[in-house]
Chain A
């Protein structure tokens, strides 16, 4: 398959680009909700609009009422989200949680997917247990109790947890903290007794929670997939979230770079446009190259994932790491090349820097994924 978009995908990209540029623009969404101190950090009205375009069902099977598309298409939407810094629960709900729910039974899918498709529901994924992404170690326990399970533990960096109607929680039903096996995924409704969340505002104005699971009792029908054998499903959820975050990073990088390139053609110093200075031209050209390469790695990983390739896992880590590196460079160069104005809150370039930092940590940073590349290639 060639590494560029098909005609259908190009059409979707056009739709997503104009929708996000108009409805998801920084002034209209990110700044608007941030300046109001919104407890969700995003607008439910926009989420409904996502649904009206069918986007919330991009990864939901057609049989369940979704579009039945793949990670290339989800990535198209995420790149535009990144370019406009559009705050939305798309990545956690329509990508990560939807991937988990897709493996659930008909009852579970019937319980949660219609809300997602309608843009009424928001979901979160609760995987991390410390400040760094370490899904190989899961301490949160789920013990058999009565008809179902009792969950005890703590989760952190649960994006949109406070707004979520349901949390996908990775817990251990058997074995030791570091075992690969013994993992089960649960759909925990927000009203579950024993579930408490402390909301925190992050550097990019998005909202996350620290989750406590204190004897949360769940019926057996809250299990997503199979008991004790949830590692593969967790890996699928992680792959979906990681490649989605990579696509969003490419968008963040592209947005920051676009602003910066424009500025280089407008700002005058020493009687010249600053874009005439070779010192800046070379850095801009290098940055362009890094972003192009990150985009290529990302679409390659998306295609491999959609095709079920055994190299998908490797390329997802390559893409997450490379997109993270490119976006970090884009926002740093962006602020530096803007000079003093780049340090002001009034100007948008700093918002890109903040979003990049949060995305970098989501589901593994560049160091985590470079380590994975080493391990997956046998060293």
Chain B
């Protein structure tokens, strides 16, 4: 048996023993997702046990070094881990912007002290993070951001506001882009970390078309941030921000997901498949979904060994989010009038309709599809003047 085959057997046996049955089915709604953090309320004992068992082995962040709370898996081992998780439809033990976004940026730009401290907290699900990027006047043109940190010697005093801050009202800490030099557009931004309970921080949820409020406005009124809480160099936060965006776009693209859950035909009701033209559209969608799932696998394989084009996450984000929007259009069509129900018990509180509306943000958040296409045209295709 090869080392990898032995590793697979070990993972399979561990999952068999440790992954609770309740955690072996897709999350039905937002409440089923384990986000961790100071104030997180576990939905069930199984959810709690699943997190704790994974934390003990470093499996919440399998490919991070052991010193920072990971399991130190190689690229090939991490792939085996994902495959074995997908095989039993296991839910991720922990979902977190810390894992998907801040963690990779800290691994690259953080000091050793920051890595040990913050990455460990993330791996253990102790701190829930939110992302302070967009501002009311800075959406696609993110670099025009105005939130300002005034230098006060050993600390900054931050004033300004952010918008579309996902789960800001539930987050414990924020990673935040703050202007620290008004004279320099790109090289005048710093990447700061601070506690959301710091005096002067307040949040206000925004009611969306889905009827839910996953996004907030976030206000900073003379917020004191110690100088040690900067990642990377002063005024060079844009480099950190861009690197993190690559990971955010990868996350939003859904690469590495379970393709058995991504195809539509098998999950639709009979009624939704009786219309031959709808069925045909669903079959065409499933071709694209399965092909994209291979793309996700290829992208992750190549990224791990540095073969992927550095701008490839933009392509992944574009293709993955457009695909997900199509998925929900077809799910709504397949569901018919049953999918219109907004608050009935049968519809799980309108989960399909609300998720359908939520997916419309996929191609806006983290960089719009149009911006993604601009980046691909410029950085990958090298088209003129792009």
Are A and B interaction partners? yes
Interface residues of A (CB under 8 A from B): 2-4, 261, 264-265, 272-273, 275-276, 278, 281-282, 284-286, 288-289, 292-294, 296-297, 299-301, 314-315, 317-319, 321-322, 325, 366-367, 369-371, 373-374, 377-379
Nearest CB of chain A from residue B156's CB, rounded to whole Å: 38
A293: min CB distance to chain B, Å:
5
Q: Are B386 and A374 in contact (CB under 8 A)?
A: no
B279 touches A374 (CB 8 A): yes
Q: Is the CB of B298 within 8 A of A4?
A: yes
A276 touches B291 (CB 8 A): no
Can you list 19 residue pairs at the A/B interface with Cβ under 8 Å?
Answer: A3-B294, A4-B302, A275-B386, A278-B374, A278-B386, A281-B383, A282-B370, A282-B374, A285-B373, A285-B381, A286-B318, A289-B319, A296-B294, A296-B295, A315-B290, A369-B287, A374-B265, A377-B286, A378-B265
* A33 vs B301: C-alpha distance when bound (angstroms): 42
Chain B positions 275-302 with a Cβ under 8 Å from a chain A Cβ: 279-280, 282-284, 286-288, 290-292, 294-295, 297-299, 301-302
A residues less than 8 Å from B75 (CB atoms):
2
Q: Are B287 and A276 in contact (CB under 8 A)?
A: no
Contact: B373 with A377, CB < 8 Å? Answer: no
> Which of B268, B292, B305, B374 is A281 in contact with, Cβ under 8 Å?
B374
Of the residues B302, B381, B385, contact of A288 by C-beta under 8 Å: B381
**Does A379 lie within 8 Å of B266, measured CB to CB?**
yes
Known contacts A4-B307, A276-B383, A281-B377: A370-B294 contact under CB 8 Å? no
Q: Are B263 and A377 in contact (CB under 8 A)?
A: yes
- B153: CB under 8 A from chain A? no
Task: Report the bound CA distance from A99 to B6 in whole Å.
Answer: 33
Query: Given the complex of chains A and B, what is the CA–CA distance between A261 and B282 in angstroms?
Result: 32
Nearest opposing residue in chain B for A281, CB measure: B377
Shortest distance in angstroms between B246's beta carbon and chain A's nearest beta carbon?
A: 16
Check if B76 is an interface residue, CB within 8 A of chain A.
yes
Min Cβ gap B7→A in Å is: 14
Please judge, given known A-B contacts A276-B385, A288-B381, A297-B290, whether A4 and B301 are in contact too, CB under 8 Å.
Answer: yes
Closest-CB distance, B136 to chain A (whole angstroms): 25
Interface of B is mostly: helix
* Complex alpha-carbon distance, A322 and B292, angstroms: 10
**Complex interface: chain A residues within 8 A of B15 (CB):** none
How far, in angstroms, from A318 to B376 measured CA to CA in the complex?
25
- Chain B neighbourhood of A261, CB < 8 A: 381, 383
* Cross-chain contact A275 with B291 (CB below 8 angstroms): no
Does B273 have its Cβ within 8 Å of any Cβ on chain A? yes
Knowing that A282-B373, A296-B294 touch, tell me 12 more A-B residue pairs with CB under 8 angstroms: A2-B76, A286-B318, A289-B376, A297-B291, A300-B294, A315-B294, A370-B283, A370-B284, A371-B283, A373-B287, A374-B279, A374-B282
Q: How far is the CA of A371 from the CA of B279 in the complex (A)?
A: 9
User: Measured between alpha carbons, how far is A319 from B295 in the docked complex, in Å?
Assistant: 11
List the B side residues contacting A3 at CB < 8 Å: 294, 297-298, 301-302
A299 neighbours in B (Cβ, 8 Å): 294, 298
B380: Cβ under 8 A from any A Cβ: yes
Interchain CB contact under 8 A, A284 and B297: no
A223, chain B: closest CB distance, angstroms: 36
Contacting pair B291 A296 (CB below 8 A): yes
Chain A neighbourhood of B315, CB < 8 A: 285, 288-289, 292
B383 near A265 with CB under 8 A, answer: yes
> Which of the four size classes fits the interface of chain B?
35 or more
- CA distance in complex: A239, B377 (Å): 35
Q: Judge whether A296 and B298 touch: CB under 8 Å.
A: yes
Question: Which B residues touch A273, using CB under 8 A?
Answer: 384-385
Per-residue interface assignment for chain B, residues 139 to 171, with 1 indicating a CB less than 8 Å from any chain A CB and 0 otherwise = 000000000000000000000000000000000
Which residues of chain B have C-beta atoms less than 8 A from A301's C-beta? Answer: 294
Tell me which residues across on chain A come within 8 A of B386, comparing CB atoms: 275-276, 278, 281
B146 to chain A, nearest CB (A): 27
Is A370 a contact of B383 with CB atoms below 8 Å?
Answer: no
Q: Digitize B325-360: 1 where CB-to-A-CB distance is under 8 Å, 0 elsewhere.
A: 000000000000000000000000000000000000
Q: Per-residue 0/1 for B358-386: is the Cβ within 8 Å of any A Cβ (1 yes, 0 no)?
A: 00000000000010111011001111111
Q: Which residues of A contact B385 (CB under 8 A)?
A: 272-273, 275-276
Interface centre among A278, A284, A292, A317 (most CB of B within 10 A): A292
Residue of A nearest to B372 (CB): A285
Query: Which residues of A have CB within 8 Å of B298?
Result: 3-4, 296, 299-300
A11 to B: closest C-beta gap in Å: 16
Q: How far is the CA of A289 from the CA of B302 in the complex (A)?
A: 16
- Closest chain-A Cβ to B47's Cβ sits at a distance in Å of 30
Q: Across the interface, name the chain A residue whose C-beta is closest to B370.
A: A282
A367: which B residues are within 8 A, CB to CB? 280
Contacts of A325 in B (CB 8 A): 287
Contact B291 A379 (CB under 8 A): no
Q: CB-CB contacts of B303-318 with A at 8 A, as 1s and 0s?
A: 0010100000001001
In Å, the complex CA distance between A294 and B295 comes to 8
**When the two chains form their complex, are residues B76 and A264 in contact, meaning their CB atoms are under 8 A apart?**
no
B292 x A314 contact (CB < 8 A): no
Which are the 10 A-B pairs with shortest beta-carbon distances? A300-B294, A297-B291, A3-B298, A276-B385, A281-B377, A285-B376, A2-B301, A296-B295, A322-B291, A374-B283
Give the residues in chain A near B263, CB-CB below 8 Å: 377
Give the complex CA separation of A251 and B298 in angstroms: 18
Q: Which of B287, B380, B383 contacts A322 (CB 8 A)?
A: B287
Q: When chains A and B are docked, how far (Å) is the Cα of A103 from the Cα of B280? A: 36
Cβ distance B321 to chain A, nearest Cβ, rounded Å: 12
B279 / chain A contacts, CB cutoff of 8 Å: 374, 379
Determine how close the nearest CB of chain B comes to the CB of A257; give it in whole angstroms. Answer: 9
In the complex with contacts A273-B384, A281-B386, A296-B288 CB distance below 8 A: no
